C-alpha cells in the first residue's frame, strides 16, 4: 500500500467516525426531546383532569353562593383560558411561547380558584356539602399530581437543554434546529402554593 492509499484510508476513517459521532449526538438530542414531550403529556393529563373538576366545583358552589356570581364566572373564564393555552402547549411542548402562555393562564386560574375558596369560607353550608368536600379533595390530589408532573417535565427539559448546549452537541443542535425548551415555572411565590381547599 502506498502512502496515498494510507492517507486516503485515514481520511475516510475520520469522515466515517465524524458522521457516526454526529448521528450519535443527533439521536441523543431526539431521545431527550421526546422525553420532555412525554413528560409534558403527563402534565396535560393532570391539567385536563383539573379542568374537568372545576365546572363541577363551580356548579356546586353556585347553589350556595348566589351573590358571588362574578367570582364564579371569573373561575370559569380562567379555566377556559387555561384549557385553550393547554391545547396550544400540547401541540408543541417545545414552543417556549406556548409554555409561557400556559404558565400565565395557569397562574390566573390558580388565583381565581384561591379567591373562590376564600369566599367559600363565608358559607358554612357549602363547606359542609359532601359533593363540595369530595370535589375539593379530588382537586387537591390533582394539584399534587400536576406538581409532580411539572417537576418531571422540568427535569426532562433541563437534561435536554443541557445536552443541546454543551460542546460539541451545540454545533449539531444549532445546525439541525434543536431549539431551547422552556421550563414550566411559576413566577410569583404565592402562586407556588396550590389553592387551599379545606372543607
103-109 contacts at long range (C-beta below 8 A, 24 or more positions apart) = 103/184, 103/185, 103/186, 103/187, 105/78, 105/81, 106/47, 106/82, 106/186, 107/186, 107/187, 107/188, 107/191, 108/78, 108/81, 108/82, 109/54, 109/75, 109/78, 109/79, 109/81, 109/82
Domains of the chain: 3-192 (1.20.1440.20)
SS3 assignment, position 195: coil
Q: What is the pLDDT along the chain (199 residues), one digit of tens a residue?
A: 788 888 899 999 999 999 999 999 999 999 999 999 999 999 999 999 999 999 988 888 888 887 788 888 999 999 999 999 999 999 999 899 999 999 999 999 999 998 888 888 888 888 778 888 888 889 889 989 999 999 999 999 999 999 999 999 999 999 999 999 999 987 654 444 555 555 4
Asked whether the whole model's pTM tops 0.85, one would answer no
Amino acid at each position: 500500500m502506498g502512502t496515498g492509499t494510507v492517507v486516503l484510508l485515514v481520511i475516510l476513517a475520520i469522515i466515517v467516525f465524524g458522521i457516526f459521532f454526529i448521528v450519535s449526538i443527533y439521536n441523543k438530542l431526539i431521545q431527550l426531546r421526546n422525553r420532555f414531550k412525554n413528560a409534558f403529556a403527563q402534565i396535560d393529563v393532570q391539567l385536563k383532569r383539573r379542568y374537568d373538576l372545576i365546572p363541577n366545583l363551580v356548579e356546586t358552589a353556585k347553589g350556595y353562593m348566589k351573590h358571588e356570581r362574578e367570582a364564579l364566572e371569573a373561575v370559569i373564564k380562567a379555566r377556559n383560558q387555561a384549557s385553550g393555552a393547554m391545547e396550544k402547549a400540547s401541540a408543541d411542548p417545545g414552543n417556549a411561547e406556548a409554555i409561557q402562555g400556559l404558565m400565565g393562564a395557569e397562574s390566573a386560574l390558580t388565583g381565581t380558584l384561591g379567591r373562590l375558596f376564600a369566599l367559600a369560607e363565608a358559607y358554612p353550608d357549602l363547606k359542609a356539602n359532601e359533593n363540595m368536600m369530595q370535589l375539593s379533595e379530588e382537586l387537591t390530589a390533582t394539584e399534587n399530581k400536576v406538581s409532580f408532573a411539572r417537576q418531571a417535565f422540568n427535569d426532562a427539559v433541563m437534561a435536554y437543554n443541557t445536552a443541546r448546549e454543551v460542546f460539541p452537541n451545540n454545533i449539531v443542535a444549532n445546525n439541525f434546529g434543536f431549539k431551547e425548551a422552556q421550563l414550566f415555572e411559576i413566577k410569583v411565590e404565592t402562586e407556588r402554593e396550590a389553592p387551599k381547599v379545606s372543607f
